[in-house]
Structure 1
Amino acid sequence: MSDPETLAVYAAKAEEYAAITGDHNKTDPILAAFIASLPPKAHVLDLGCGPGDSAAAMAAAGLRVHAVDAVPEMIALAARHKGVAAQLATFDQITGTDIYDGIWANYSLLHAARADLPDILSALHTALRANGRLHIAMKTGTDSARDRLGRKYTYVTEDELRGLLGAAGFTVTKKQTGRDKGLDGTYADWIALGADG
């Protein structure tokens, strides 16, 4: 994510965002299932970790967590969690081969430009070990737009997201959908896919 306006919104609202998402992450059944699908002491990348609540839950479950975000204020919050190694980085800075047993990309890649998604997902596939697990959640739709706070979103259809994952080498194994209220106070439809590397 390199959109300056989006980054500025998250920087200004880091504490507010943490307050909204913190309790949800403690009881999120999708996160619990992702954790349960990984081997003990698995090495996990939390991509776009925000304030680090998901990363903290993974660390508390005994996983080794590398949490990255492009917003310094979010990294400061994430680094406060025990067992979380937090690093300032953008999506295109994820490199390396066979590093992670799992990648948690929860409502983060929806801020990547549509044209960048193929390269980002390919790099994530390369960074994931054989038989590794990917979780990706995005808001659904067919366009790109800013919300009322100024954050830029790339909306995807289920078919588009499945196609992107398949082209990057992933095999989709799970699907969940829903509708929730976001930081901007509006409701949006979402899709979460689980995939094997």
Structure 2
Amino acid sequence: MTDRDTLRVYDDMALTYQKVFSDKAADATLLAFIAAMPADGRVLDFGCGPGRSAMHMARAGLRVDATDGSATMVGLAAQHPGVTAWQASFDALDAVAQYDGVWANFSLLHADRADVPGHLAAIRRALVPGGLLHVGVKDGTGESRDSLGRRYTYFTLPEMEAMLRAAGFSPGPATRGEGPGLDGSVASFFTLSAVADA
């Protein structure tokens, strides 16, 4: 279920978010994801925000679809050449064997915990066998709201790995780190890749 308060924050602060995050160069994780894609591969930025990652993917020659629950964020993402963006909730994903890669970078952490297994299963269906999923979430347990009012669901690495296996993925390496969010607070996070089982 889409959290309206979270979407409202992103609609209201989209330009601020873009200014803070979108001018950064592609990091090693994004570059590795792009390098793993076939030439002219098709990818989905699932929860794209203002489209920073989608922009880098398109510049690398990938065919990029991008979705987000925030209409304002989608408008910003659609401005990047080579990016096809539209507004959609997580549960609207109904593609079948359509993508070589799905980039879900700090997006699923806004979903209800009970809904995440279903979202991962939908991503698996959307990927071709052997396709690559990237996931980034905040590390921890439980749920909370930040000072801006955004809802977060926290995950441990073993928990996320188990969810991925149940959805038909083989989890790969994880990277841990910490950094500031839009509200300025520093949080621990992890990212990992997972391959869609044949």
| TM-based fold match above 0.5 | yes
Aligned to 1:156: 155
The one-letter code sitting in structure 1 at the alignment partner of 2:164 is L
The one-letter code sitting in structure 2 at the alignment partner of 1:94 is L
Aligned to 1:17: 17
Aligned to 1:122: 121
Secondary structure at the aligned position of 2:22 is classed as: helix
Aligned to 2:41: 42
Secondary structure at the aligned position of 1:13 is classed as: helix
- 1:127-148 CA distance string (max 9 Å, x none): 1001100000000111100000
Residue ranges of structure 2 left out of the alignment (5+ in a row): none
- 4+ residue runs of structure 1 moved beyond 4 angstroms? none
- 1:89-146 CA distance string (max 9 Å, x none): 0000001210000000000000000000011100100110011000000001111000
Residues 1:138 and 2:119 are matched in the alignment: no
- C-alpha separation between the residues in 1 aligned to 2:45 and 2:168? 20
- C-alpha separation between the residues in 1 aligned to 2:182 and 2:120? 26
- C-alpha separation between the residues in 1 aligned to 2:28 and 2:22? 14
Q: Give 1:14 shift.
A: 0.0
Aligned to 1:175: 174
Q: Give 1:152 shift.
A: 0.1
Instruction: Give the aligned CA root-mean-square deviation in angstroms.
Output: 0.7
The one-letter code sitting in structure 1 at the alignment partner of 2:100 is D
- C-alpha separation between the residues in 2 aligned to 1:40 and 1:19? 30
Secondary structure at the aligned position of 2:74 is classed as: helix
- C-alpha separation between the residues in 2 aligned to 1:32 and 1:100? 18
Report the identity percentage. 48
The one-letter code sitting in structure 2 at the alignment partner of 1:80 is Q
TM-score normalised over the length of structure 2: 0.97
Residue ranges of structure 1 left out of the alignment (5+ in a row): none
TM-score normalised over the length of structure 1: 0.98
- C-alpha separation between the residues in 1 aligned to 2:162 and 2:40? 31
- C-alpha separation between the residues in 2 aligned to 1:111 and 1:13? 16
Aligned to 1:69: 68
- C-alpha separation between the residues in 1 aligned to 2:46 and 2:161? 19
- C-alpha separation between the residues in 1 aligned to 2:13 and 2:95? 32
> What number of residue pairs does the alignment pair up?
196
Residues 1:7 and 2:2 are matched in the alignment: no
- 1:28-82 CA distance string (max 9 Å, x none): 1110010001111100000000000100100000000000001000011001000
- C-alpha separation between the residues in 1 aligned to 2:156 and 2:172? 17
The one-letter code sitting in structure 1 at the alignment partner of 2:177 is G
The one-letter code sitting in structure 2 at the alignment partner of 1:14 is A
The one-letter code sitting in structure 2 at the alignment partner of 1:114 is R
Secondary structure at the aligned position of 1:27 is classed as: coil
- C-alpha separation between the residues in 1 aligned to 2:79 and 2:163? 34
- C-alpha separation between the residues in 2 aligned to 1:174 and 1:134? 12
Aligned to 1:189: 188
- C-alpha separation between the residues in 1 aligned to 2:93 and 2:124? 10
